[in-house]
A = this chain, B = another copy of it.
Amino acid sequence: MKKIAIIDIGSNSIRLVIVQINKDNSFRIVDEIKRSVRLGKDITIDGELNPSRIDNAISTLAFFKRLCFIQDISEILAVATEAVRKATNQIEFLNRVKLELSIDIRVLTGIEEAYYDYFGAINSMDFSDALIMDIGGSSSELILVKNRKLKASISLPFGAINLTEKFSLQKVMNEESEAEIKTFFTSIYNDIPWLKEVNDIPIIGIGGTIRNIGKLHKRKTNYPIDNLHNYIIPTNEVIAIYDQVKVKDSYQRKKLKGLSKERADIFVGAAASLVSLIEYLDIKELHVSGSGLRDGVLYEYIFNSKIPLDDVLDFSLNNHLLNYKIDIKHPSHVWMLTKTLYNELDAIIDIKINPYKILKTAAMLHDIGIVISYFDHHKHSSYMIANSKINGLTHKEQLMASYVAALHRKNEFKIDLKLYQNLITKQDLEIIDKLSVLLHISESLDSCLNGNIQFISCDIRLDTVTITVDAKADPLLEISAAMQCCSSFEKTYNKKLIIK
């Protein structure tokens, strides 16, 4: 086990992420700290970083270095972006950091920054085609992704801070300045030839402004899940939030609930760049990504490769199991049995969604609750599935997987429908019931944890379903365990269950 640190010296904030990496290469974030240094602000007329902001950055980095020392960090990966990238006194800054703190900062080019944004998002979200937008303090990156590959990217020299300065956006926006901004962005977007290829794909948004838009929207809709990663907002709602904030003065913005106080003064410029792009390309959905540059740096370090994952969910589930030291054999076998059951019973299951990811997540993680307590572990598994960062799922899939897992032992778990009324419909509850019976049967069929039952097949008749098992050794115990699901099977599917 070792720990590494990623330090991200942005134009708005400087961040430290500490990651624990186990011997099996599984990893977990164990600390995250942010300081609003705004290195990209108050640049001198010669293009130098402002001296007092440099001092502030140095003392922040000294603090981070101290934390790294205390936490036995074996390696620090420090990267800097636009503010340092274009500073005319870049070398002096880097040398001072090197001399005083022995930290080597890698200054990323705009294209490298875009690549890490892409690499962070692609390995933590399950999408094929999208336009990624990372809005930073002094630059913004656009990346076109097709078939999960980076097709084109660009780093644009504007972000929340310098847009605010350029267009004096701290005050109420008037029609004139709005038109001016619109013209500005249209001309920029016009100059990016590959943007014309963008058609009917979502924007994946990275950065504090976009997370803040997500928070504002959640507050507005009373959304019941705290997690921002993978949160989807219709773009007309993004525009509505922008319209609401831009007409307020700086005092009112600071008072606006849900708008980060640290970001209130620079929110409108960044939001304008996003809204302009949405309107320019007529984009319908914004997907918030909690993963970006720092995650990209981390994934490259962990994989020791620039090749993105094929199966984000599979990797994420494995990472959780390894972190919790749960032997993968039993969950994998349960997943195999559940998948077979689902395929064989497809005709009578009759649900309108593809439940593979839900079933796989529930099957693979159904036992993780034992790390909290073996007693009632199905409930703890459910809590953990709902609250972990599981990459590759929508929020709804994650929530449904958590309920399916909760029901893997007994039928006593009650879903708090009131809390999730906007997310889980009655139809979803039926699906959860149907899937949880399958998981319960499969889990029982591997109750000896040894993969004894190698294959199952089903025969569906008018009144009965017969599951025939093929086992290495006498499967009496497994069958008698699975038979305890008969009544819930009958209740859910309206057919008698026979297992032999």
Contact = CB atoms under 8 A, between A and B. Distances in A.
A450 interface: yes
Interface string A315-338: 000000001110100000000000
Interface string A67-93: 100110000000000000000000000
Interface in A1-47: 1, 20, 28-32
A387 interface: yes
A388 interface: yes
A464 interface: no
A71 B387 contact: no
A383 interface: yes
Contacts of A380: 387
Nearest to A226: B376
B371 A371 contact: yes
Nearest to A228: B375
Best-surrounded residue of A32, A67, A373 (most CB of chain B within 10 A): A373
Contact of A375 (B63, B384, B389): B389
B374 A388 contact: no
A30 B372 CA distance: 10
Contacts of A375: 226-227, 290, 389
Nearest to A477: B63
Nearest to A385: B372
Interface string A424-466: 0000000000000000000000001110000000000000000
A198 B375 CA distance: 33
A449 B63 CA distance: 11
A29 B374 CA distance: 6
Nearest to A60: B477
A66 interface: yes
Contacts of A389: 373, 375
A203 to B, nearest CB: 22
A67 B449 contact: yes
Contacts of A70: 448-450
A370 interface: yes
A14 to B, nearest CB: 14
Interface in A116-154: none
B372 A387 contact: yes
Interface residues of A, number: 37
Contact of A383 (B29, B226, B370, B383): B383
A449 B71 contact: yes
Contacts of A20: 325
Contacts of A67: 448-450
A383 B477 CA distance: 35
Nearest to A326: B30
A392 to B, nearest CB: 15
A32 B31 CA distance: 34
Contacts of A1: 325
Interface string A322-357: 011101000000000000000000000000000000
A197 B473 CA distance: 57
Nearest to A227: B375
Interface string A361-386: 00000000011111110011001100
B448 A30 contact: no
Contacts of A325: 1, 20
Contact of A372 (B370, B374, B388): B388
Contact of A28 (B323, B371, B384): B371
A374 B32 contact: yes
A91 B236 CA distance: 80
B450 A66 contact: yes
A63 B448 contact: yes
A298 to B, nearest CB: 13
Given A31-B370, A67-B449, A376-B387, 12 more contacts: A29-B374, A30-B374, A71-B327, A226-B375, A227-B375, A324-B371, A372-B383, A372-B387, A373-B389, A379-B387, A383-B383, A383-B387
16 contacts: A1-B325, A28-B370, A29-B374, A30-B374, A31-B370, A32-B374, A63-B477, A67-B449, A67-B450, A71-B449, A227-B375, A323-B371, A372-B383, A376-B387, A379-B387, A383-B383
5 A-B pairs closest in CB distance:
A70-B450, A29-B374, A373-B388, A373-B389, A70-B449
